A and B are shown apart, each in its own frame.
Chain A
Amino acid sequence: MKFAHTQDQLDLRDGAREYLRGRCTVEQLRDLKDNNNAELGIWSELAEQGLLAYLVSEERGGLAMDQVGFALIAEEAGYVALPEPFVDVAGVCAPALEGLNGTASDIVENLVAGGQRVRSLHSANPYLNQLAQGDQLLLTGADSVRLLAPDGYQSKAVESIDPLRRLHVITVEPDVGSELLHGADAAEFAESMFNHGALFTAAELLGITAAMIDMATAYAKERKQFGNVIGSYQAVKHHLASAFVALEFARPVVYRASAELAAQSDKATLSIAHAKVAAGNAAINAAEVAIQIYGGMGYTFEVDLHLWMKRAWALVGQWGSSHHHMNKIESGIFSDTAIGPAQTFAQNN
C-alpha cells in the first residue's frame, strides 16, 4: 500500500507544468478570444514535448506511462485552461486506438508525432470541442466502433459560452467508415473510453479549481475596501478556505481513481464516478466563490476568471453529468454489501 506518485511521474508533471504555464498564458488566452481564434496553435509543440506520447507504448514512439501519471498532466492542462483538445486526443483516443489491432493502431504513431488527430465521438458528448479540418473521428457506440475519415462526416458549428471552446454537432451516414469493433467488444471499448474521458476530465477540473482559487486569492490580497485588503476579512477568508478544503478532498479521490483504472480494478468505474462528481462539485463551488470575491468585476470580461469558470461549467457536463455518475455510485452502494471500514480497497476479504 503506497498512495503516492513516483518521482518519475512527478518529474514529468513538473516538466509539463513549466511548459504549459509558459506557453499558455492568460495574455495568450485573451488574445485568442479577442481574435476569435480557437486554439493556440501549439499542437506540434505538444508532440515535441512528448505530451501526446504519454499513454502510448514505446514500440509506437510513446513514453509508456500510465493513467496515474497522465491524470497529473491533465490537471496541469486544466490549470492553464489549455484550449487544445489535448486530453481527448492523448488521454482518451491514443490509448483506445492502441488497444485495437491492425491498421487502427498504426494511426497512433502518426498521432504521437503530431500528425493527423483522432477525436472521440461518444454518445455521452453530443458536441465535439475544437474540431479541426482533417480530424478523424473515433465513433464509439454501444455496439459498434468506427473510424471516420475527414470526409466521412458532416459538422455544424454551435456556440458555447466558453469563448475558447468551438463546438460542432456531427452527423454521420449509417455504415460509413471502417468498423473496428462490433457487439460486446464495442461495448467494452466504449466503457473504457468513457472511463478515461471521465477520469481525465475530473483531473482537468482539479486544475481549473486550483487556478480559480489562486486567482481569487491573489485578487483578495490586492483589492481594498474599508481601508484594508478584502482578504483580511473573515467572510472572504472563509469562502476561500472552504473552496480549498473541497479541492484538497477531491484530489486524492481522483488520484485513487487513476490508480484503479491503471490497475484495471473492478472498482475503477465506481472510483471514476466518484472522482468526476467530487472534482465537478469542487470546481463549481470554487467558481461561485471566486466570482463572489471578484464582485462586480467577476461578472465581466475585464478579468480572466470567466475563462476558467466557463470551462468548469462545460467540463462538468462532459463524459457524464454529476447525476449520471451519482446514479452509478448509488446503484453500487445500495446493492453491494462490501462497503464500510476495511472494504475501501478491493483487495480485502
Chain B
Amino acid sequence: MQLQYTDQQNEFRQTVRDWLEAHVPQKTLPSLDTEQGFELHRDWERTLKSGDWGMVTWPKEYGGRACDLIEWLIFEEEYYRAGAPLRVSQNGIFLLGPTLMEFGSDEQKQRFLPPMAAGDEIWAQAWSEPNAGSDMAAIRSKAERISEHGKDYYLLNGQKTWSSRAVFADWAFGIFRTDPDSSRHKGLSFVLFPLDTPGITIRPILQLDGDPGFAEIFFDDVKVSVDNLLGEEGQGWQIAMATAGFERGLMLRSPARFQRTAQRLIGLYERYKDSLSSGVREKITQAYMDAEAYCMNTYYTASRLMAGGKIGAEASCNKIFWSELDRSMHRTAMSIIGAQAELVETVPEAVDEGIWLDGYMFSLAGPIYAGSNEIQRNIISERVLGLPRP
C-alpha cells in the first residue's frame, strides 16, 4: 500500500493547477440550467478543450489525455480546489461517453466522442417516462424500423421525461421499445438522436429553483437513421444498465466535490460559531470524516480497477453514500445560516452568493436521480447480500 504520489503524479497535479489558475473564470457563472448560463458553461467546455482537459481519461484520438484513474482523481481534486464551473456536458462525458467506448462502433466513436469532449455537442438523457421511473422496464416509447428510398430509419413515438437540460442540449440518448410485442427488459434498444429533429417537441419543466433544468420530450413520428442505434437491437436494457453503472460508479461524483463542500462548511461554521449550539461542531466533524471516507473508498476502488478489477453492485453503495452525505452537509449549512437561509442568490445578503440554498436543493435530488436510493438498497441486498427478490 503506497499512499504517496509519484513525482510524475505531482508534476501532473502542478500542470493542472497552473492551467486552471490561468483559465478558471473569476466570476461564478450563472446557473447552467438557464439559457445564458448554459451557453457560458459551453464556452467553458471549449476553453477546457483548448487545453486538452475535456475528458482526461479518454484516449487521445477522442480528445482525451489517456490518463489513468489516479490522474483523473488528481485532476478532479484540482478542478474543485480551483472552484471551476460545473460540467454542463456531464450526461455526455460521464455517462454516454464510457457507454460508447464499450458498445459503440468505430464510426460512432469517431463521430460522437470528439465533439462531446469539446463541448460542441452537449447531450441529454432520455430514459424515464411518466409511467417508467424507478420501474424503468415499463418503458413504452417506441422505435419502429422503416425503409424509405432504400434507407433504414427508426420512427420514434412516445414521451420521455426528467431530461436534464434537454431544452438547451444538442443531442439525446434514450431507450425505446423496438419490438412491439416485447415486455419489460426485452425488446428495448438504445438510440441516439439530435434534439432538433422534426417531430420532437420539448417542454421545459421548472425545477425547485425556478429554472428550466428538466424537460419532457414528445416524439411524433421522429425519423432517425438506424446508424444511431447503439449496440444491437434488443440490447438496450443491458447497455442502459452499463450506463447506469457509470452513473452510480466512480465518474459522476468525484470525492473532491464533497471534500470541497466539507471544507466550505468548516469555514461557514467558523464565521457563525458564536451563535450555534455545540452539536453543530460534531455534525461538521462527521461531514469532514464522511467526505474523507468517500475519498478513501474512491482511491481504493480506483486502485482495484487499475489492477484489472471490475466495478459491480458496489456502485450502488457509492451512490447512496455521496448523495446522503451531500444532503446532510447542506442541511447542516442551512441550519447554520438561519434567517438568511431562504435568501435567493441575487439578494446581496445571501450567504456565500446563495450556494448553500442552491446546494441544498440540488442535494435533495441526489437520493432520487441515477436510480433512487431505495432502488440502490434493493440492488445491494439482492445482488451483494443475495436476498431474494419479492
Q: Which chain A residues have a beta carbon within 8 Å of chain B's beta carbons?
A: 1-6, 68, 213, 217, 220-221, 228-229, 231-234, 236-238, 240-242, 244-245, 248-253, 255-256, 258-260, 262-263, 265, 274, 277-278, 326, 329-330, 333-334, 339-342, 344-345, 347-348
B162 within 8 A of A: no
Determine the chain B residues whose CB is within 8 A of the CB of A333 once the complex forms: 266, 284-285, 288
Determine the chain A residues whose CB is within 8 A of the CB of B347 once the complex forms: none
Q: Are A3 and B381 in contact (CB under 8 A)?
A: no
**Measured between alpha carbons, how far is A330 from B256 in the docked complex, in Å?**
20
Q: Are A5 and B1 in contact (CB under 8 A)?
A: yes
Q: Which residue on chain A has the smallest CB distance to residue B309?
A: A4
Contact of B70 among A1, A228, A274 (CB under 8 A): A1
Q: Are B299 and A1 in contact (CB under 8 A)?
A: yes
Determine the chain A residues whose CB is within 8 A of the CB of B317 once the complex forms: 244-245, 248-249
Q: Which residue on chain A has the smallest CB distance to residue B294?
A: A249
Contact of B300 among A3, A6, A229, A278 (CB under 8 A): A3
Q: Are A253 and B270 in contact (CB under 8 A)?
A: no
**Measured between alpha carbons, how far is A236 from B381 in the docked complex, in Å?**
9
Q: Are B288 and A3 in contact (CB under 8 A)?
A: no
Known: A68-B1, A340-B259. A4 touches B307 (CB 8 A): yes
Q: Are A2 and B303 in contact (CB under 8 A)?
A: yes
Determine the chain B residues whose CB is within 8 A of the CB of A233 once the complex forms: 390
B292 CB, min distance to chain A CBs, angstroms: 7
Q: Are B300 and A237 in contact (CB under 8 A)?
A: no
Select the stretch in B73-81, B94-102, B183-191 that faces chain A. Answer: B73-81
Known: A1-B3, A232-B389. A253 touches B296 (CB 8 A): yes
B289 within 8 A of A: yes
Determine the chain A residues whose CB is within 8 A of the CB of B299 once the complex forms: 1, 3, 252, 344
B286 CB, min distance to chain A CBs, angstroms: 8
Seed contacts A237-B381, A245-B321, A345-B5; 5 additional CB < 8 Å A-B pairs? A249-B294, A263-B3, A330-B281, A342-B77, A345-B3
Q: Which residue on chain B has the smallest CB distance to residue A262?
A: B1
Determine the chain B residues whose CB is within 8 A of the CB of A237 once the complex forms: 377-378, 381-382, 385, 387
Q: Are A249 and B260 in contact (CB under 8 A)?
A: no
Q: Which residue on chain B has the smallest CB distance to residue A230?
A: B387
The secondary structure that dominates the B interface is: helix
Determine the chain A residues whose CB is within 8 A of the CB of B303 once the complex forms: 1-4
Determine the chain A residues whose CB is within 8 A of the CB of B257 once the complex forms: 341
Determine the chain B residues whose CB is within 8 A of the CB of A221 once the complex forms: 386-388
Known: A3-B3, A232-B387, A345-B4. A241 touches B292 (CB 8 A): no
Q: Are A259 and B314 in contact (CB under 8 A)?
A: no
Q: Are B260 and A340 in contact (CB under 8 A)?
A: yes
Contact of A252 among B5, B300, B374 (CB under 8 A): B300
Contact of A240 among B76, B385, B390 (CB under 8 A): B385
Q: Which residue on chain B has the smallest CB distance to residue A323?
A: B282
Q: Which residue on chain B has the smallest CB distance to residue A259?
A: B1
B111 within 8 A of A: no
Determine the chain A residues whose CB is within 8 A of the CB of B288 once the complex forms: 329, 333, 339
A-B contact pairs, 11 of them (CB 8 A): A233-B390, A238-B374, A241-B377, A245-B380, A265-B3, A329-B288, A329-B289, A330-B282, A339-B266, A341-B81, A342-B13
Determine the chain A residues whose CB is within 8 A of the CB of B9 once the complex forms: 1
Q: Are A341 and B289 in contact (CB under 8 A)?
A: no
B262 within 8 A of A: yes
Task: Give the residue among A236, A274, A340 with the most B Cβ atoms within 10 A.
Answer: A340
Determine the chain A residues whose CB is within 8 A of the CB of B304 once the complex forms: 4
B6 within 8 A of A: yes
Determine the chain A residues whose CB is within 8 A of the CB of B263 once the complex forms: 339-341
Q: Are A231 and B387 in contact (CB under 8 A)?
A: yes
Q: Are A277 and B270 in contact (CB under 8 A)?
A: no
Q: Which of B296-347 contact A (CB under 8 A)?
A: 296-297, 299-300, 302-304, 307, 314, 317, 320-321
Determine the chain A residues whose CB is within 8 A of the CB of B80 once the complex forms: 341
Determine the chain B residues whose CB is within 8 A of the CB of A253 once the complex forms: 289, 292-293, 296
Determine the chain B residues whose CB is within 8 A of the CB of A342 once the complex forms: 13, 74, 77-78, 81, 256
Determine the chain A residues whose CB is within 8 A of the CB of B77 once the complex forms: 341-342, 344
B295 within 8 A of A: yes
**Measured between alpha carbons, how far is A238 from B378 in the docked complex, in Å?**
7
Per-position contact with A for B262-285: 1 when CB-CB < 8 Å, else 0? Answer: 110010011000000000011011
Determine the chain A residues whose CB is within 8 A of the CB of B70 once the complex forms: 1
**Measured between alpha carbons, how far is A101 from B260 in the docked complex, in Å?**
46
The 7 lowest CB-CB distance pairs between A and B, nearest first, are A340-B263, A237-B381, A341-B256, A241-B377, A252-B296, A231-B387, A241-B380
B2 within 8 A of A: yes
Q: Are B377 and A278 in contact (CB under 8 A)?
A: no
A218 CB, min distance to chain B CBs, angstroms: 10
Q: Are A249 and B281 in contact (CB under 8 A)?
A: no
Q: Are B259 and A341 in contact (CB under 8 A)?
A: yes
B384 within 8 A of A: yes
**Measured between alpha carbons, how far is A217 from B384 in the docked complex, in Å?**
11
A18 CB, min distance to chain B CBs, angstroms: 22
Per-position contact with A for B229-268: 1 when CB-CB < 8 Å, else 0? Answer: 0000000000000000000000000011101101100100
Q: Are A344 and B292 in contact (CB under 8 A)?
A: yes
Determine the chain B residues whose CB is within 8 A of the CB of A340 once the complex forms: 81, 259-260, 262-263
Contact of B384 among A2, A244, A345, A348 (CB under 8 A): A244
